[in-house]
Every structure is written in C-alpha cells, then in structure tokens.
Structure 1
Amino acid sequence: MRLHGSYSVVEGGWPSDAYLSLTGGVAETIDFATYNDHPYDLFRRIANAFGSGGLADEDNMGLVRAHAYSLTGAEVVMRHDGEMIPLVRIRNPHGHQSEEWHGKWSDRSDEWSTLQMGNNLHHDNEDGEFWMNMDDFIRYFDQTTICSLTPDFDIDGRSDPLRHS
C-alpha cells in the first residue's frame, strides 16, 4: 500500500498510525505510566501477537530517547536454577551499534551465562537488535503498540477487547 508515495514517508509520528496505514489492523497503545497489570501479562500479550501474526512495537543504558524501536520476538528462557525469564527482542531501526541496550540481557551481558544449555537466542552481533527482560522493558520504555489484524487477537476463538488506547 502506498498511500503517500512510498514507505519512506512512514517516519516520525506514531507507530500506531503506521500500523493502520500498512496493515489496516487495529493498533492498541499501552502506556506504561498507567499500566497496572503484571509484567508477565504484557509479555504474554506480546508473545501472542507474534504467534498470531500481529505486530508489536531513552537515552539511558544505550537507548535513544523519543525513538520508536521495533519488537521482533518474545521468548521465555530458563536459568540453571529453574527461574523462568520472559524476554523481548528489540530492534533499533537505524541499527547503530552505539545505540544498543547495555543493561541485563544485552549482547555482552553476563546474564546469558546463567541459562541452561541449549539456548540459542544470544548473538553478540552489535547490529541494533538486542534482548531485554520485561521488567526493564516496562522501566525504560514509555509505551508499546500492538497491532491486531483480527478481532481474535490471540487466536483462542474469542474476540479480544482492546483495554488500552
């Protein structure tokens, strides 16, 4: 779809507007300042968005303030002690090495050594893509936008209400 000439004009503004223009889906923005649910509930919604074909989207710890990052994955990993950690994979669209997360679960974080064998999520590529746990995601980002392409957002056979806008 090229409403305004090319996809390159979908820069700046709100990710929800871009989702609507590019997919025709309903975008839901979740503001972390007023978010009261458990972080794992938000993780589950993000993971369901990836599973159903939906799309999800500070100058601190390597992050750029007032910048739209893209969510590219959601996985749960297990530490040696059995603790389960929900992680989201985040991408800086500009892909600059200097603008990549430097906290827990970043490319060079020691957290990766605490996982059980067989984990293949960790890649130290310095390509603008990185992992972050849900607690830090809610702490360092202001909001996320999830685009629902169908009324049955998580494909469980029931229409899902949009509780946030």
Structure 2
Amino acid sequence: MPHALLKTALFLGIGLLGLSPLAAAALRPSVADPEGTALAQVEPNQDNLHLQCPGSILVNDISYTVFFTREAGFSRIVLRRRSTGQQIAETFLSYDRNNSKGQAIWRGAVNDAANVTLVHLANRPAQPGDQVSVGYDGQWGRGTCARSQP
C-alpha cells in the first residue's frame, strides 16, 4: 500500500513539473481574485460595429434612423416628419423572434399607441449594406445600414 501511494505522489509531482508556465499560472488564483473564481471575460462587441440605418415611409411623410450595435442589436429608432425634419418620436426596440425566413424581428411602441416593427432582411448577423424593413402605424418602409461612429 505505501508503495502505491508513493507511485501516485511521484506521478502527480512529475505531471505538475511538466506543466507549462501558462498552465501553471491558470491553476493559481490571481492576486485580484484571491478565491480563484474569476472567469475569462470577452468583450461582446469585439469588432465595435455601429450601424445607422436611415429609411423612409413615404405614405406617412416619415423618415427614420435605426441604430445598431453588436451588443444591443437594433436597439433604437428615431422617427421624423420627412417634410420638416421635426422629430416625432424616439423609441427603443426589443428582439422578438426570427420569422420563417430566419430574419430577426424587433418590436417597440411609440407612446404605447403605435407599434413599431423592424425586420432585418438578412438571416445572418448585421453588417454594412444590410436592409431593414420598418413598419410604423400600419405603413412600411425600407432602409439600408451603413457603418457609423460610436
């Protein structure tokens, strides 16, 4: 029995000595995290993509701008009177679901009265050049996304 215990200790010791410095460091708790509970954190918006998607709903004399980031998605829309440029409303959008074509649908409401629906007309993550279809107060328009500054 003592002989088997000695073999196990020797095996473990050799294994620990054979660890690379990186692997050994990963086993040690960090100074900033003495309990060793830290997890690797990855920045969610690694490519820092920001898009603006301007478009219009001609029937209602409305122009709009949709704002997109990788972190929040299509999170906000500003609606303006097309003829005067006056802002009508600004509302936040929430992801609802994907439609049968795999396109993401986002929804919001203006003053709890008029619904706003956005359909990202692609079945992949958003990128410059993508089109969105926006429905407001029963009418629809289309916009094209372009890279913007944060």
* Length-normalised TM-score, structure 2: 0.29
Structure with greater strand share of residues: 2
* Length-normalised TM-score, structure 1: 0.27
